[in-house]
A and B are shown apart, each in its own frame.
Chain A
Amino acid sequence: MATYIIRRLFWLIPVLLVVSGVTFTLMHMAPGGPWDRDPSARQVDPNTQRMLNDYYGLDKPLWRQYMAYVIGDTNSKGEFICGVVCGNLGPSYRMRGLTVQQILFKPPSGKTIWESRFGYSMRLGFMALSFAILVGLPVGIISALKQNTVFDYVSLLIATIGVSVPNFVIAIIFIVIFSSWLHWVPIVPRSWADTTAWLMPGLILGFGTLSRIARLTRASMLEVMRQDYVRTARAKGLAERLVIVRHMLRNSLIPVVTVLGPALAFLVTGSFIIEQMFGFPGMGRQYVTAISQRDYSMIMGTTLFFAILVALANLTVDIVYVFLDPRIRLND
């Protein structure tokens, strides 16, 4: 097991190289650059632009910029600055005086890491995921046990909507209903310290995943209910509750766990739009801003961080498998 995990972690290196290469290429292919301003505003004068390019190394050929980002390069003063391999994500091009790490992970003074942009996004993602699991699983299980009843039809209908309608559309509908009409929650919360402010973005973000989990759990339970070993369990005289809890649940969870890895990734990526819509101070909104500002180092840093998150989520799923299904062995 340990060997397997270490090997999987080593696989992260080529994955991150590809992700960074593709992102770097696309980013530089996109028109514009970090020093561009709105055409109506005062432009950065060409002299300053040249100095900035020289300072950040943007005047060098692209391959060299990429090498500089990944491995490192000498700066204009002749000092060697190590790149990503040393864990240095570089300075932000747009937020002067701050490094990418500081923007993502540094909390306001005197606060914990949970108050950083990373912390905010993680808390929102975790809230959405727990909501999705805690509601999605029971709904799926009950739907399967009460197949073809009103409960089953209604939950299946809602889950189908949740899977097929993108979360920003649901967000707009929710904002109209709960903020504009019912005035239950403010459209833009005054402070994110207030827990109720988290409800709307959290629930909306989790809704899609909840629907996916509910549908999959239902299908998987229905599949398991027909299995011979469930008949065997009944033939042994087990009470129905024990048949469900001991013989059906764990077997039906195996396919559900498979989607949890991608689901976590979906929650992270899905949060770009939701964070933007609600003005949520997390990584997702920062990422969108960085893209529109062509803040190259921010884009690279955040993308790599998301890639690591997704890879670790999938690794966790593969490990959880082993505990759910004894037939699965990880090849050392």
Chain B
Amino acid sequence: MANILTVEGLETQFKTQDGTVHAVNGVSFVLKEGETLGIVGESGCGKSVTMMSMMRLIPMPPGKVVAGLALFQGRDLLSMSDAEVRSVRGSQITFIFQDPMTSFNPVLTIGRQLAEPAEIHLNMTKKQAYDRAAEMLALVGIPKPKDRLDDFPHQFSGGMRQRAMIAMSLVCTPQILIADEPTTALDVTIQAQIVELVKGLRDKLGMAIIWITHDLGIIAGLADRVGVMYAGYIIEEAAVKDLYREPAHPYTIGLLGSLPRLDETSNRRLTSIDGLPPVLMAKPTYCPFAPRCRYAYERCWKENPALVTIDTNHRTACWIDTKTGRPR
């Protein structure tokens, strides 16, 4: 499969009153056609900002993409003109956001908002665009879609709103769908429905998906490959099975250790990772996880490890081989 998206060395900073926050510190990843890439990490690790920076959706100022490339079909999203990037947004690369309550405009009808991408990108008339919107609502399983077009977002339930959000992202049949924690604001039953819906649509429409979440459980059943982010870096990247079977980075091990498992026999205590994620007021010169890491030794405090390949399709950024507990 060909690479549809290649991100290299992406760095984003935010100017605040207290100084510059280094939110993304050189993120690189590739996305293949039709592939589902999961990005996991705790709040504030730069998952969303990475995607927003790539699509030039972060507020500028205070935000700024200071370095990097984002090649989509061979063209750099970061250096193309505003008009060009707008023609990609919402048509070829689309978004689903976290909170379906606030991500719809409360004073416009669902139909109006779903018709917009079709009108701008597909040059449809209002009538055609509304028909397309109804078609999409039917696709995501909303009954009597034609009757619901004139409804306002507050007349939809949370789960329906997220379905409508998915419908809106599919209007122009995108190549890449970026789902930014789409299930975080929903209750577990609805979460499962939404995940199933997206899986089904992916198989039907064949788009690539970047699924951002902090829920490792969702990723396990959905993604082909997973990138784990910490402090604005991708610190481990692997095929989903490898990552769960043999996590290599101490942070990933910690994350998986904090997860309850159904197949466990003994009464294992869930572990937690001590400490807090770093405040990124300066670009780290040493491993950002070192203060919380039980493997850390002197090199970890002096040099920041880069991603290295440790196995086929398995890369990690750590000075320690966690299997042996010795430096690599």
**Chain A residues in the interface with B (C-beta under 8 A):** 227-229, 231-239, 246-247, 250-251, 324-327
- Once the chains bind, are B106 and A237 in contact (CB under 8 Å)? no
Of B14-22, B28-36, B91-99, B307-315, the stretch lying at the interface with chain A is B91-99
The A/B interface has a contact count, at CB < 8 Å, of 68
Can you list 27 A-B pairs with a CB-CB distance of less than 8 A? A227-B102, A228-B102, A228-B103, A229-B103, A234-B57, A235-B55, A235-B89, A235-B95, A236-B89, A236-B90, A236-B116, A236-B117, A236-B168, A237-B86, A237-B87, A237-B89, A237-B90, A237-B117, A238-B116, A238-B120, A239-B86, A246-B108, A247-B108, A251-B107, A325-B107, A326-B154, A327-B152
Contact B120 A232 (CB under 8 A): no
Given contacts A236-B168, A237-B91, A238-B116, contact A251 B86 (CB under 8 A): no
**Chain B positions within 8 Å of A229 at CB level:** 102-106
- Per a CB cutoff under 8 Å, which of A237, A250, A251 touches B120? A237
Q: Are B107 and A234 in contact (CB under 8 A)?
A: no
Answer whether residue B121 sits at the interface, using C-beta atoms and an 8 A cutoff.
Answer: yes
Residues of B within 8 A of A (CB): 55, 57, 86-91, 94-95, 97, 99, 102-108, 116-117, 120-121, 152, 154, 168
A229, A236, A324 — most chain B CB neighbours (10 Å) = A236
Contact call A238/B106, Cβ cutoff below 8 A = no
Query: With contacts A234-B89, A237-B121, A238-B120 known, is A326 near B57, CB below 8 A?
Result: no
With contact pairs A228-B97, A236-B120, A237-B120 given, residues A325 and B106 touching in the complex (Cβ less than 8 Å) = yes
Q: Could you tell me the distance in whole angstroms from the C-beta of B87 to the nearest C-beta in chain A?
A: 6
Query: 9 nearest interchain CB pairs?
Result: A237-B90, A236-B90, A237-B89, A228-B102, A229-B105, A235-B95, A326-B152, A228-B103, A237-B86
Please determine whether A251 and B90 come into contact, CB atoms closer than 8 angstroms.
Answer: no
Closest to B105 in A: A229
Contact indicator B97/A251 (Cβ below 8 Å)? no
Nearest-Cβ distance from residue A144 to partner chain B, whole angstroms: 13
| Separation of A251 and B154 alpha carbons in the complex (Å) | 15
Closest residue of chain B to A251, judged by CB? B107
